Amino acid sequence: MARTRKGGRRWRLVRRTLYVLAVGAGALCVAVGIMYARTRVPPVNAAARAQSSTFTYRDGTTLAEVGRLNRVAVPLRDVPPYVRGAVLAAEDRGYYRDPVVSPSGLTRAIWAAVSGGSRQGGSGIAQQYVKVAYLSPEQTLSRKVKELFIAVKLSRSRSKDWIFEQYLNTVYFGRGAYGVQAASQAYFHKNVGALTPAEGALLAGLIQAPSYLDPALGHTAQTQARWRYVIDGMMSTGALPKGPLPAFPRVAPAHTESTYAGQRGYLIERIIGELHDHGLDDDQIYRRGLRVTSTIDQRMQAALPGEVDRATGRDHDLEVGLASVRPGTGEILAAYGGRDYLTHQYDNAFLAALPPGSSFSPFVLATGLRAGIGLRSTFAATPDGPVVNDDDAQATSADLLTATARPYATVFSRLGAKVGASAAARVGLPGRLPPSGVHAVDQAAAYGALVNGTYAAPHILARVTDRSGKVLLDVRPRTRAAFSPEVAADVTFALQRAFRAGEKEKATHEAKAGRSARVRPAAGTIGTTDHNAAGWFCGYTPDTATAVVVYRASNRPVVNVGDAPRRSSADVPAEIWQAVTENAEPSPPSRPFPPPAWVGSTQNFVPPSPPPAAPSQPTPARTTPPASAGRTARPKRPSASKPGERPTDVPAPGSPPPKARGSAG
């Protein structure tokens, strides 16, 4: 009986739960129905809303305006079938087969809006067109629901061909081009009807992330992967016959208009890239009238081209990358990506990954200090396997202060083998030895952390507002403690000595150039690499950290020893660094560097020399003994060699090795 009552109570609870769920589902359906009924398809006004965005320097002076509406509409019949198939393969392979809003697509879209996931979410072609043509690009659940309702209503009044045609003439392809015809001209300088299947696949792949996937801007590997995905989709859907993969197409240079000339093009692309990182899409950037304030100092930036030209002279094969960063905040004050963006769209400051060579040694030193190995600790300075010192120095040992000032790559090779380079990973550089290629902007931020031990990630955005003045983004520094202020003070003390040593060596050159180093205090060091593949100068004051790198576009050594035997690969970057730092600080800094803290202990890591060997006794020549008193005098027997004795013509252990040539790796 009790068991029957318990079963009855259970059944009543299940019925009540089902009743509540049914009522909730019914209420939801009613609410959705009311929202659907009240949703109206607004007029298409995308062109009327289009407004260029303004990028400014840190002081508010205009840097550039971007975002003109470049759109030429073409009928769907004028777009080759394989180009249409490429877009469908890239964005919505079931467009003609599936309903406008599929249940799976709706679920993905709602999840993306709630979780903050992919900007594309579950949007098909119809929803993408609705977002661009009718709605704002804000990423909210209400906007997503409205997008779905308008797409459904539009599909009931318009054919899929009509929606697809409007989409092809509206979607953004990058380079300021809206619609497939404008994109065809921007990337290939031809009309859409003349595109090849490979070219159509490239354009279709760009829709996902137009500015990022433009192959002219340095992300060729990612673009090729996306292109292969589209080609595979075209073959699987029948838009392209199955067969060998066609050749990846070549595109025209990006942004050939005068707005991008000189250094502006590099800065514009860097600003746009960072806007993307903060979640703003191309529609907002190019058509919503944003005002974007950068961190770039106009006076510093304006001086860069002249200083680089003066230092490099007529050597047009020499490429230069430079970045200046504010220590403690990571604000990028100036950057040099190449002589002219219109002719060289590969950014030497942000994209060129080059071996750091001996400019990496301060972070090996910081790792050693954190491990308790003090500045006065001594290491062997003789060649360490393939590693030799830059100037063929034949020192047998040196402490870390001397090794930093010279610099002795062999000492830091041995220190790195003992402690590693974990401090480098704490400031955004590779934390392993030997280090892989690094970027100038990352070097500048890493050296900036040596001012007080605080690393600030480099950034070029300061503030973003919409056309009404509403603040959309107010960038705050992203900082972390990389190492203690005491470790930073000791590394800085060592690099100040290196900086002063470098000043003495170039005193004659500075006098001839009519220039003297007026920046005080300053710390920094050169960076030479194996085979002179690149040359660096990285240094900082309390207010500015700057990294300069040079390399050759032809991949030849920076300095040809036969042509310039007395010139260092670091001469040009050192000269540029000095001029840029002087421009950054018209008056002396308000505060000095802190004194050294002398962390750690003084230790000796030089292997003990073996004891000197006793000289061996020469064996006398055998002679005829003289006759004496009727008996023969015996010759004296030579003493046997003692164990460990060495012939006199073989160098003893510990003697200087033969002179070896090379560079500090």
Q: Is the pLDDT of residue 151 over 50?
A: yes
Q: Which of 44-48, 327-331, 603-607 has the lowest mean pLDDT?
A: 44-48
pLDDT recorded at residue 558: 87
pLDDT reported for residue 127: 79
* Region 314-336 average pLDDT: 95
- The predicted pLDDT at position 298 comes to 95
- Give the torsion through C-alpha atoms of 93, 29, 113, 280, to 10 deg: 90
Least confident of 124-133, 187-196, 534-543: 124-133
Q: What is the pLDDT of residues 239-250, one digit of tens each?
A: 999 999 999 999
3-state class of 392 per DSSP?
coil
Distance (Å) of CA 19 to CA 10, 26, 369: 14, 10, 70
- Please, where are the H alpha helices in 39-140? 46-49, 81-91, 103-115, 125-134
Instruction: Name the pTM for this structure.
Output: 0.73
Report residue 536: phi and psi, to 5°: -125, 155
C-alpha distances out from residue 169 to 82, 134, 223, 549, 657, Å: 16, 14, 22, 44, 73
Q: Residue 404: pLDDT above 60?
A: yes
The Cβ of residue 548 has, within 10 Å, a number of other Cβ atoms equal to: 34
- For the chain, give the mean pLDDT: 80
| Domains of the chain with bracketed CATH | 75-254 (1.10.3810.10), 304-376+416-460+478-584 (3.40.710.10)
pLDDT at residue 658 above 60? no
Structure confidence at residue 131 (pLDDT): 76
Tell me the pLDDT band of 18, cut-offs 50, 70 and 90.
low
- So what's the pLDDT on residue 52? 81
Return the higher-pLDDT residue of 69 and 114. 69
Lowest mean pLDDT among 54-63, 371-380, 561-570: 561-570
- The predicted pLDDT at position 125 comes to 87
Contacts of 224 (CB under 8 A, 6+ apart): 215, 248
Is the alpha carbon torsion for 211, 214, 219, 221 positive or negative? positive
Is pLDDT larger for residue 639 or for residue 24? 24
Q: What is the pLDDT of residue 338?
A: 96
Find residue 15's DSSP bridge partners: none
Q: Is it the case that residue 115 has pLDDT exceeding 90?
A: no
Q: What is the pLDDT of residues 362-381, one digit of tens each?
A: 999 999 999 999 999 999 99
Please compute the mean of the pLDDT values over residues 437-462 and round it to a whole number: 97
201-216 tens-digit pLDDT:
999 999 998 878 999 8
pLDDT at 6: 58
Q: Are 580 and 324 in contact (CB under 8 A)?
A: yes
Asked if residue 391 has pLDDT above 90, the reply is: no
Question: Is the pLDDT higher at 435 or at 517?
Answer: 435
Intra-chain end-to-end CA distance of the chain, in Å: 89
d(CA 520, CA 648): 55
Residue 147: band (very low, low, confident or very high) from pLDDT cuts 50, 70, 90: low
Assess whether pLDDT exceeds 90 at residue 575.
yes
What are the Cα distances from residue 230, in Å, to 94, 193, 205, 227, 234?
A: 14, 19, 6, 5, 6
Whether 116 shows a pLDDT value over 60: the answer reads: no
- Stronger pLDDT, 305 or 100, i.e. the higher one: 305
Phi then psi for 69, rounded to 5 degrees?
-85, 100
Could you write out the three-class secondary structure of 346-377? CCCCCCCCECCHHHHHHHHHHHHHHCCECCCC
> What value does the mean pLDDT take over residues 96-117?
60
Between 271 and 1, name the one with better pLDDT: 271
Of residues 443 and 102, more confidently modeled: 443
Least confident of 152-166, 168-182, 298-312, 576-590: 576-590
261 vs 255: CA distance, rounded Å: 9
Residue bearing the bigger pLDDT, 110 or 308: 308
In angstroms, rounded to a whole number, what is the distance separating the alpha carbons of residues 621 and 486? Answer: 69
Please report which confidence band the pLDDT of residue 59 belongs to, taking 50, 70 and 90 as the band edges. Answer: very high
Where is pLDDT greater, at 501 or 225? 225
Please check the confidence at residue 499 and state whether its pLDDT lies above 90: no
What average pLDDT does this structure show over 122-139?
A: 70
Q: What is the dihedral of CA 168, 173, 178, 181, to 10 degrees?
A: -60
Instruction: Please indicate whether residue 391 or residue 407 has the higher confidence score (pLDDT).
Output: 407
Position 128 pLDDT exceeds 60 = yes
User: What does the pLDDT average to over 32-60?
Assistant: 64
Can you give the pLDDT at residue 141? 55
Going by C-beta distance under 8 Å and a sequence separation of 6 or more, which residues neighbour residue 1?
A: none
* 3 pLDDT higher than 70: no
Strand partners, 180: none
Structure tokens at 554: 């032809």
**Which of the pair, 503 or 260, is modelled with greater confidence?**
260
**For residue 562, what pLDDT is reported?**
43
